[in-house]
Structure 1
Amino acid sequence: MKKTLIASALVGLFTSSAVLANNDTEELRKVIAQQQKVLKNLEERLDETEQRLEATADQVESSSTASSFAKTTIGGYGELHYNNYEDKDAKVDFHRFVLFFGHEFKNKLRFFSEFELEHSIAGEGQDGEVELEQAYVEYDYSDTITTKTGLFLVPVGIINETHEPPTFYGVERNGVEKNIIPATWWEAGVAGNFKLAPGLAVDAAITSGLNVGNDYKIRGGRQKVSNASAENLAYTGRIKYTAILGLELAATVQYQTDLTQSAAGVDDAAAILIEAHAIYQVNNFTVRALYAAWNICGKEAKALGRDEQTGWYVEPSYMFNEKMGAFARYAEYNNEAGASSSDAVESTSVGINYYLHENVVLKADFEELSGSNDSQGFNLGFGYQF
């Protein structure tokens, strides 16, 4: 375009020169000077046009790239703990470092993942582990039906799905949800969330299950979807009610046809987990209460007293202001509740949370243990989420 305009201008210059060939030299010079100014103005205008076109192209490309990145989200959380108990060495541990990665493919289809490093360092001879706790695709079939496919957290309890440090009291997660449920607990499979009415929803999931081997310890039965045995799947259903402001009521039932995954030399161990909890908040006061119990079939489980495994806790808390809150918790749990001679672990805890920011918290608590595990000590912690 630029070359064509310049060529046209040159033709005009030569034509004008021919017409004025008989005029005096001074007039000819004036005409040439005017034509040169026209050429210079044309070149400057064309340069400006090309610069604007290039700038527009850069903006379009940049906008397209930014739009793609805007659909990808990054988050995470972490927590540092100091534990000091009687008859135990004091320890400091960066317990968890977690990163979330998500991406929205389109309005109704999205991906979410959770990648975790536990205890700061992993590898042969180290205490830590590298874990993939979530990696699933979520799809909205309608305004009332959403599905998950992949690896996700089991819909049970209070902290299993929401366990970022600023969201709960106490440096360590409570013993009931850790040893009975057992949080954090994830499996692979498919799940659906069905909104039956405002504030009333049902979750259903078919997933891989636990493998307790021949010792029937629930927490040790988590396979973490690492070449997990899937001879016997797990079926989970939950109903949750949140229609009243400040109130959450939920109940979960899970059934697995054999917790031993058909291991040789042991009886099949069909099992049912029942969990129910309530959270009620009035202004700055909140109370949490949870009950969970396993009923496991099989003579081996009964002989060990692990055919019944139960736990419960009550936790009132109060936020004095936006910076500080305090809590107290009483909890009992027993992984050998089927044995008449077994005592439950009893835990009484009190502590505070101090929020540097709504997503950054300092924690301190004192815990006294009795029953089958007599001890006492204190914990200090720091946590964040983003």
Structure 2
Amino acid sequence: MILTLGIRPSGADEVFELKVMVQQLRSDYESKIQSLEAKIGQLEASQEQRVTDQVTQLREEIKQEIKDETLQVDYIGRHNAPVGDGGLLVKNPFGFGNVSLGGYFDMEYLDRENEDAAFRQHRWIINIGAQLADRIRFNSEYEIEYGGTNAPAGDGEAKVEQAYGDYLINDMINLRAGAVLSPFGRYNLYHDSDLQDLTDRPILAKDIIPTTWTEAGYGFFGEFNPALGSYEDLMINYEIYAVNGLDSGFSDTGTSGAKNSLKTDNNDDKAFVGRVAVSPFLGHEAAVNGYSGEYNGKGDAITGIGFDTLNTFGPLELVTEYAYFGVEETPTAASDLANYFQGAYAQLNYHFWPEFLNNTFLGRGFERPTLTLVGRYDWAKIGDDSDAAGSGDNEEDRSTIGLNYRPLDSFVVKFEYQFNHTKNEILEAGDNNGFVSSVALGF
């Protein structure tokens, strides 16, 4: 009996071995299952990441496509556009090139002796420019004065001040056609109210040189940078145009009435107007200006010569300008004409900023606020035309002292006082001294 219990049947061993084998197989199976599950998990995670990446990429592509087909507008600052003076740069999605949009406005207050004090919403200007291709561009300026044509007082007007196209060849010579600002006198080219430090334009820029003198014509412009040994700062630029020219609308109170039509001319002769400016160093410029053209159908001509300079010395800036126009007259003319127009001005600007103003409302939040103290002397003289208003040549001079504040380069608040004196007929303000203030903002 004892021997029988100590002997293990062979069948039991086989069962035991089977159990061990089953357990081993089960363990191997579970291990493989876990491995497979891990691999499946990795594949699923990888697939999800790929899907996520693809969705992200697709989303970015859609965003870019929408962006490419949508107008993009950036404010880059006035006078900083590739073409034109507008501060808004519009990137055209239709392959037409970039377009600049901007302008300026000014608001004035005048209180002169013997005149009613008045607010004047003087100008609202729109600038539009376009870079059609690397060498083809367009620029324009549309001006609305005193509310536009047929405003209640009848003084308003709306007109094209510039509208021209350029075909660029190289730095030295380029073609321009359209309505251009005549390149005669520095002020005529840089007349924008937000650029200037005084409200009233010089008498010369209103009565001797026609104010904002626009002409229709063709011409050339360019610049040179001749190197003279080691001296490489010299810059020479020029503009010259064939235009319709002035007509016979001038008088002994000014030339503005002689500005011609952009559509027709009163004679077959074309006038020429041009300017050559030389800059020996940055911040210094001297220019000579010329004009010649027939003003009637009798062969009589107006000929003009002008000089202007700009010199900066640190915070000091000196601007001067002189112009003379001589008028031919047919000897058999029934009445005398104003046979000459001449004038000049000198303006000194001092730019400064007291540091104690940085934390005041004048300086807080602005990068480069500026105060400018300004002094200018104007003078103009025009030959008599023997009209009934008075005899003798007409002459007027003005002394102005002013102060202005610029929180930004293109925003200015101006205050000034004028001392005016006139001989014979009034050109601008007569003998009426007075206070003038204005706000100008460019964008």
Does the aligned pair in 1 maintain the 2:284–2:310 contact within 8 Å? Answer: yes
Aligned to 2:61: 56
Compared CA separation, residues 355 and 47, structure 1 to 2 (3 A): closer
C-alpha distance in 2 between matches for 1:362 and 1:44: 60
Aligned length: 347
1:222 counterpart (251, 259, 268): 259
Tell me whether 247-256 or 56-65 shows the greater mean CA deviation: 56-65
> Given the alignment of the two structures, is residue 176 of structure 1 paired with residue 208 of structure 2, yes or no?
no
2:268 counterpart (224, 227, 231): 231
> Given the alignment of the two structures, is residue 87 of structure 1 paired with residue 114 of structure 2, yes or no?
yes
2:403 counterpart (346, 352, 357): 352
**What's the secondary structure of 1:356's corresponding residue?**
strand
Tell me whether 335-344 or 76-85 shows the greater mean CA deviation: 335-344
Does the aligned pair in 2 maintain the 1:306–1:337 contact within 8 Å? Answer: yes
**What's the secondary structure of 1:225's corresponding residue?**
coil
Compared CA separation, residues 214 and 292, structure 1 to 2 (3 A): closer
1:144 counterpart (172, 177, 181): 172
Aligned to 1:384: 441
C-alpha distance in 1 between matches for 2:193 and 2:69: 36
> Given the alignment of the two structures, is residue 202 of structure 1 paired with residue 238 of structure 2, yes or no?
yes
Does the aligned pair in 2 maintain the 1:232–1:256 contact within 8 Å? Answer: yes
How far 1:195 sits from its partner (Å)?
2.1
Compared CA separation, residues 311 and 199, structure 1 to 2 (3 A): same
How far 1:55 sits from its partner (Å)?
5.7
Structure 1 or 2, whichever has the larger Rg, is 2
Compared CA separation, residues 83 and 302, structure 1 to 2 (3 A): farther
1:225 partner letter? L
Which structure 2 segments of 5+ residues have no match? 1-42, 73-90, 227-233, 354-368, 424-429
C-alpha distance in 1 between matches for 2:316 and 2:250: 44
Does the aligned pair in 1 maintain the 2:381–2:395 contact within 8 Å? Answer: yes
2:329 counterpart (276, 290, 298): 298
The residue correspondences of 1:10-89 to structure 2 (distance < 5 A) are 53=58, 56-57=61-62, 59-65=64-70, 66=72, 67-68=91-92, 71-89=98-116
Aligned to 1:269: 300
C-alpha distance in 1 between matches for 2:270 and 2:395: 30
C-alpha distance in 1 between matches for 2:151 and 2:124: 19
Aligned to 2:372: 325
C-alpha distance in 2 between matches for 1:227 and 1:50: 64
Does the aligned pair in 2 maintain the 1:337–1:344 contact within 8 Å? Answer: no
How far 1:149 sits from its partner (Å)?
1.1
The residue correspondences of 1:95-106 to structure 2 (distance < 5 A) are 95-106=122-133
Aligned to 1:316: 348
Which structure 1 segments of 5+ residues have no match? 1-37
C-alpha distance in 1 between matches for 2:221 and 2:208: 24
Compared CA separation, residues 301 and 93, structure 1 to 2 (3 A): farther
C-alpha distance in 1 between matches for 2:55 and 2:103: 45
**What's the secondary structure of 2:137's corresponding residue?**
strand
Compared CA separation, residues 283 and 124, structure 1 to 2 (3 A): closer
Aligned to 2:221: 193
How far 1:226 sits from its partner (Å)?
5.0
Does the aligned pair in 2 maintain the 1:192–1:203 contact within 8 Å? Answer: yes
Does the aligned pair in 1 maintain the 2:347–2:375 contact within 8 Å? Answer: yes
Compared CA separation, residues 142 and 277, structure 1 to 2 (3 A): same
1:118 counterpart (119, 126, 145): 145
1:280 partner letter? N
1:323 partner letter? T
C-alpha distance in 2 between matches for 1:354 and 1:149: 38
> Given the alignment of the two structures, is residue 212 of structure 1 paired with residue 248 of structure 2, yes or no?
yes
Compared CA separation, residues 385 and 230, structure 1 to 2 (3 A): farther
1:74 partner letter? L
**What's the secondary structure of 2:114's corresponding residue?**
coil
C-alpha distance in 1 between matches for 2:410 and 2:334: 45
- TM-score, length-normalised on structure 1? 0.80
- TM-score, length-normalised on structure 2? 0.70
**What's the secondary structure of 1:160's corresponding residue?**
helix
Encode CA deviations 1:152-208: one digit per residue, 9 max, x unaligned. 111111221112223222111111111111121111111211323341122211112
C-alpha distance in 1 between matches for 2:280 and 2:334: 41
Percent identity reads 23
C-alpha distance in 1 between matches for 2:250 and 2:377: 31
C-alpha distance in 2 between matches for 1:136 and 1:230: 23
Q: Name the Cα RMSD after superposition.
A: 3.1
How far 1:49 sits from its partner (Å)?
5.6
C-alpha distance in 2 between matches for 1:124 and 1:77: 20
Compared CA separation, residues 246 and 338, structure 1 to 2 (3 A): farther
Does the aligned pair in 2 maintain the 1:309–1:337 contact within 8 Å? Answer: no
**What's the secondary structure of 1:159's corresponding residue?**
helix
Does the aligned pair in 1 maintain the 2:102–2:126 contact within 8 Å? Answer: yes
